[in-house]
Amino acid sequence: MNLRKLSRSQVIPRQRPTDVGVAVARHLLVRSLRQNYLHHVLAGCPSVIGFILSNPADGDTFVEAGRTLHRNRNRTKRTIRPEILHWDSDASGRRTREKDLGKTLTDNDHVVAFAYGADAFPPTFRLAADGILALPVADLSALKTASQAVGIRGLPDEILAIAVGEPLSLLSILIKPGRSTRHIVRSLREVRKDQLGRHRPKPSLTLTLDNLHGFGEAAAWGRELAKDLDEYRSGQLPWADVNRGVLVSGPTGTGKTTFAQALARTCNVPIYIHSLARWQAAGYLNDLLKAMRRAFHEAIADAPSILFIDELDSFGDREILDGKNEQYTREVINAFLECLDGVDGREGVVVVGATNLPDKIDKAILRPGRLGKHVKIPLPDLDARIGILRHHLRDDAASADLADIASRLEGASGAVIEQVVRDARRKARSERRPLTFTDLMHGLPVRIVQSEEAFHEACVHEAGHAIVGHFLGSEAGSQLLECQVLREVGMDGSGGRTIMRQIPGRNLGKAAYVAQIAILLAGIAAEEFVFGDHADGAGGSDDSDLRQATLIAATMEVSLGLGESLVYLTSKQPDDVLARLRLDPLLRQTVARTMDRCFQRARGIITERRDAFDRIVQLLMERGRASAEDLKHAIVTV
């Protein structure tokens, strides 16, 4: 980092601000000091203060504002000219320049410094500083205050809000004293057009739901929507009959944004991409609500269109609100619901919400007529992974058989697969030759090959799930489909999996839930039966056997009335159930007793069917995979 030390001759406080960008920067500096109770800095008392900048484009503007930070005179009526330090992003020569830092801090009563991160300030400065502060966002309030400070009045809030988030140097150019309000408004509207171009990317000419892979149910819903919109445009279908809201959920990296862009291209409509975080950047609550409503109005003006809202779970859930932010969050959600409903039903606008955490979304957002349809994007299966590889490879390695690479990417998201191809291209490009199959192998994520002992343990674990799942599946309302053990640990860290499918249309009572717990605990029951102890593979993650079994046992007690009493204590949302479990030791004891009984039941089934269990273990050791038919044959063989 280079330390730029500005000479005292440069540090001349402005008596009257004439630069809007500098005025905004000064407003933010002052606000930050007041919010952190460092009023003595503003009063002209001796001080050393550091500010963390986020945008290098604004660095010089904040440095200029730092020169005017102190009041012109202190109690002795002496003009205060602070020493200004600025560490930029170049690390060369830092040690040499820092030799003089101690003398600078000793010789000056007022030091204002800027850098791009707390760690960028040298240790000596951090020890001497009264505070190192992160600067707040340049919101609408800051822009209004700065504009008025330089003598510019009469700019409507909705026009001035356009400048939120733009570089301060651009504000200095556009909003100048003496320039007519009409010209300022016209310039800001040009900025708005540029913003729309950035926020509303044009759908790719080739990216459609027909040439993407791994989207399953979401792709099928999107094709139906495309037909509905065609009929709506032609007047054959009223808007009330269009499925105009959907929640798309799936693990990180499965391509929810890519799906929305492909959906827009398939439907041949424009797409607007937004999020609550983007609206919050506009400033305070009123500014956020204006930005939200403006997003809906823009989409309506360009209808038919798609409004994509990412990270929908960030809105929160009004049922679990508490603390000082409760009123704020409630008003945001209520305003969002008003936008979803719309005075005219937001005709022509399909709202697509995306999340990794669908359980954390307010139920009112997901009701029919708003985002009533919920489609999931799963991690891609083998065929989908082959298709994703081929899509990103385009014409490269056209004759290569991608099945082996795709199988080694089990558990990988679409984003990870794209990165594999990107890394392969980089390797080929660095060696100035076409991409080859070997390059793809080089780009695969590191996988851990299981030892024979670990592979045997994994086979025992999955065989336990399989045999207990076979005998208790009907009681649990589920059907055993497949059992698989991997020689190499997959992308999800799992060495194997047993797949059970829930049978639709079944009402589940206490016996069904207890059977589900027994199936989940059958893996570690099998390990204890064979080895006398179990390893850690059944726990440690949100989708682990132990977490799922614990949630079922606790939900029976606190929400479903299927435990020791009929008392309802909380919703069946996992976070609510686990929170209750952490706080209630008696509940933990009850859940532990239920899980222990289910564990013993699973172990009893394995003990009674020892021969069938051993055949499944041997089958998995030999093949690594067994279908439902294979498992059934191994169990019923005499």
Query: Are residues 455 and 487 in contact, defined by beta-carbon separation less than 8 angstroms?
Result: yes
pLDDT of the residue at 109: 86
Query: Are residues 376 and 250 in contact, defined by beta-carbon separation less than 8 angstroms?
Result: yes
pLDDT of the residue at 203: 45
pLDDT of the residue at 199: 46
Q: What is the DSSP string of 280-319?
A: HTT-SHHHHHHHHHHHHHHHHHT-SEEEEEE-GGGG--GG
* Strand partners of residue 111: 48, 83
Nearest to 222 by CA among 256, 190, 194: 256
Torsion angle defined by CA atoms of residues 369, 371, 376 and 377, in that order, rounded to the nearest 10 degrees: 120
At residue 624, what are phi and psi to the nearest 5 degrees?
80, -10
Q: In terms of DSSP bridges, do strands 305-310 and 271-275 run parallel, antiparallel, or are they unpaired?
A: parallel
- Per-residue pLDDT tens digits for 569-623: 888 888 889 888 988 999 999 999 999 999 999 999 999 999 999 999 999 999 8
**Which top CATH class is 1-199?**
alpha beta
Q: What number is the average pLDDT over the span 140-158? A: 77
pLDDT of the residue at 90: 45
From 3.30.70.340, 3.40.50.261, 3.40.50.2000, 3.40.50.300, which CATH number describes the 216-376 domain? 3.40.50.300
Q: Is 78 a residue whose pLDDT tops 90?
A: no
Q: In terms of DSSP bridges, do strands 83-87 and 3-5 run parallel, antiparallel, or are they unpaired?
A: antiparallel
How much of the chain exceeds pLDDT 70, in percent?
86
112 or 489: which leads in pLDDT: 112
- Per-residue pLDDT tens digits for 276-303: 888 887 677 888 888 888 888 888 888 8
Query: Are residues 472 and 515 in contact, defined by beta-carbon separation less than 8 angstroms?
Result: yes
* Strand partners of residue 50: 113, 132
Q: Where are the domains of the chain?
A: 1-199, 216-376, 382-443, 452-636
- Per-residue pLDDT tens digits for 357-392: 888 888 888 888 888 888 888 888 778 888 888 878
At residue 172, what are phi and psi to the nearest 5 degrees?
-60, -30
271-275: strand order across its sheet: 271-275, 305-310, 349-355, 245-249, 373-376
| Cα separation values, 458 from 370, 469, 482, 498, Å | 45, 16, 15, 11
Tell me, which fold does domain 452-636 have in CATH?
A: Methane Monooxygenase Hydroxylase; Chain G, domain 1 (1.20.58)
pLDDT of the residue at 614: 93
Say if domain 382-443 classifies as CATH 1.10.8.60. yes
pLDDT of the residue at 515: 94
Tokens standing for residue 276: 């609550």
- Per-residue pLDDT tens digits for 103-134: 888 888 889 998 877 777 888 888 888 888 88
Q: Is 327 a residue whose pLDDT tops 70?
A: yes
Quote the CA–CA distance of 472 and 517 in Å, as a whole number: 10
pLDDT of the residue at 201: 46
Matching residue, tokens 């109005």: 297
Strand segments, DSSP code E, in 53-207 are 83-87, 110-115, 131-134
pLDDT of the residue at 551: 94
pLDDT of the residue at 522: 94
Across the chain, mean pLDDT equals 81
Q: What number is the average pLDDT over the span 69-87? A: 65
At residue 489, what are phi and psi to the nearest 5 degrees?
-65, 130
- Per-residue pLDDT tens digits for 81-109: 788 888 764 443 343 355 578 888 888 88
* Domain 382-443 matches domain 452-636 at the CATH topology level: no
pLDDT of the residue at 490: 59
pLDDT of the residue at 608: 93
| List of residues 6+ apart from 447 with CB closer than 8 A | 408, 488, 489, 490
- The DSSP secondary-structure symbol of 358 reads G
Long-range contacts of 225-228 (CB under 8 A, 24+ apart): 225/263, 225/267, 225/350, 226/263, 226/266, 226/267, 226/268
Q: Is 543 a residue whose pLDDT tops 70?
A: yes
pTM: 0.54
- Per-residue pLDDT tens digits for 194-204: 544 544 444 44
pLDDT of the residue at 88: 63
